[in-house]
Amino acid sequence: MATIYKKKYPIPIPQNAEVVVRNGRRFARWTNAKNQTRTAEVLDDGRIEFVSDCWYMRYRDAEGIMRRGSTGCREKQAAQKKLADVLAHVEKVQTGIITSQEKQIASHAERSLSEHLDDYLQHLSRKRIRGRKVSPMYRANLRGRFERLIADCGWRRLRDITRERMERWLDEAEANNLAASTRNEYLISLSALCNWAVKTERLARNPVTGIGKADRSSDRRHVRRALTADEVARLLDAARRRPIAELGRKSVALSDENKRGHRSWTKEPLTADNFERCYAEGLQRLSNQRSRRIKLEATGRERALFYLLAVSTGLRRGELASITIGQLHLNAVPTPYLNLDAEDAKSGHGADIPLRADVVDALRRHLADRPGARYDDKLFINPSAIRIFDADCQAAGIAKTDPRNRVVDIHALRHTFGTHLSASGVHPRTAMAAMRHSRMELTMVHYTDPTLLDVAGAINALPAFATTKTDTERRA
């Protein structure tokens, strides 16, 4: 039978409690942390009987299962009203007026959106995509997006999410100069959350279905460019020698406005103009430090090899960082290759990457520097990060941004690989396979820099249309 009640259970007497006797019964009286005076009867075993502040309810649901839960009400009359509402809902389910799915949705309706968000992120922590778990960094980025949407749109419950409000937010974001790709990421993230809510019977439908995405091609903020063959050669040389050249930088005084605390000097920046001088002075400083020089030279060779593999195989930074020595097959016939595991590939599909002869020679020299390395050791001890790459580019005289506002970063090495495949006349389908792309558009549009293609040569190869004889000339 349905009823409301207050929970009662024994607890130890609080340390600051005062025991008093009333009508032959003992009571404990104390002040809690909220500075409220409490009184409870002392039981025979020396403990007190604690009574909950809120009323609880007990009832049978539409499946006949006994349910217990808090009403969240301190007043008895309010708790009875809450129980009556629950029983009315149960009767509607039993008579078929509402479905069990609608009942499930209604049970989640009053929960805050932040609670549903916590459940969703917990679900993602257990989920695997292409065999890999969703990274903590990606989940943290998702939380940041959702918290911004919740704050900007004023959403408190799942039912507050509407298509109209999301479309208005996207318009406001565009007016605030938020990039098209970033706006799409917010929309995709919210749609994924709503789809999950539908699958877990928290929403009847996805309220943001049908909202169009922004055109990324007309609003690209981070456009990469490919490096020329000469720039790649300069980058490899600078990366190989820069650890030693860093030691040859001179100290320069800081201007008054740049001084911080007691520091009044810094090192000059390493550029293409002073690189040779700094390298020579670095060698001079290491003239009596043979072991340190060998270590710095090995570091430089590893960085150069990292870039060489990137432009020769098209592997991404994370994929290169995952390669172990055991994944190298340098003696394979007819073509040496390295094996990329499926769990480390962005696509979730493993691949055997062919290696050029010069790359194989560089890999063998690198392994010779590590005689005690095992098969399960990483190929690169310190994979280059963006700051190291930028410093290497500066030392090689390669500008971070060109006059067309295109940038050079580590991922631009993959663009360089794709561009030079096309520039060398490789068939588009073969280039697509080498890039491990699923769509030809990615290879031919997004990973091919047209400025390095011989477009002028292709146009000059056309027939000389203007010099063809006209009909009048033929009759003459």
The per-residue pLDDT for 31 is 86
Closest CA to 82 of 177, 166, 4: 4
What is the residue whose two structure tokens read 């309810």? 57
- Domain 113-218 = CATH 1.10.150.130: yes
Matching fold, domains 113-218 and 226-476: no
Q: Which pLDDT belongs to residue 162?
A: 93
pLDDT on residue 202: 86
pTM score: 0.69
Domain 226-476 class in CATH: mainly alpha
* pLDDT tens, the chain, 476 aa long: 789 998 888 888 888 888 888 888 888 888 887 888 888 888 888 888 878 889 999 988 877 888 888 888 989 999 999 899 888 877 877 776 656 666 666 667 778 899 999 999 999 998 877 667 888 888 999 999 999 999 999 999 888 999 999 999 999 999 999 999 999 999 999 999 999 998 988 888 899 999 999 888 777 778 899 999 999 999 999 999 999 999 999 988 877 777 776 677 888 999 999 999 999 999 999 999 999 999 999 999 999 999 999 999 999 999 999 999 999 999 999 999 999 998 888 888 889 999 999 999 999 999 998 888 899 999 999 898 899 999 999 999 999 999 888 999 999 999 999 999 998 888 989 989 999 888 888 888 778 877 777 766 666 676 767 655 555 565 55
Instruction: Quote the pLDDT of residue 469.
Output: 56
Helices 290-313 and 386-395: crossing angle in degrees, nearest 10, is 100
Gyration radius of the chain's alpha carbons: 35
Query: Judging by DSSP bridges, how do beta strands 18-22 and 8-11 pair with one another?
Result: unpaired
pLDDT of res. 133:
80
Report the pLDDT value the prediction gives residue 248, as an integer from 0 to 100: 93
Domain residue ranges in the chain: 3-98, 113-218, 226-476
Check if the beta carbon of residue 76 is closer than 8 Å to that of residue 4. Answer: yes
Contacts 24+ apart (CB under 8 A), 318-323: 318/344, 318/346, 319/344, 319/345, 319/346, 320/379, 320/380, 320/383, 321/378, 321/380, 321/383, 322/378, 323/378, 323/379, 323/380
> pLDDT at position 43, please?
85
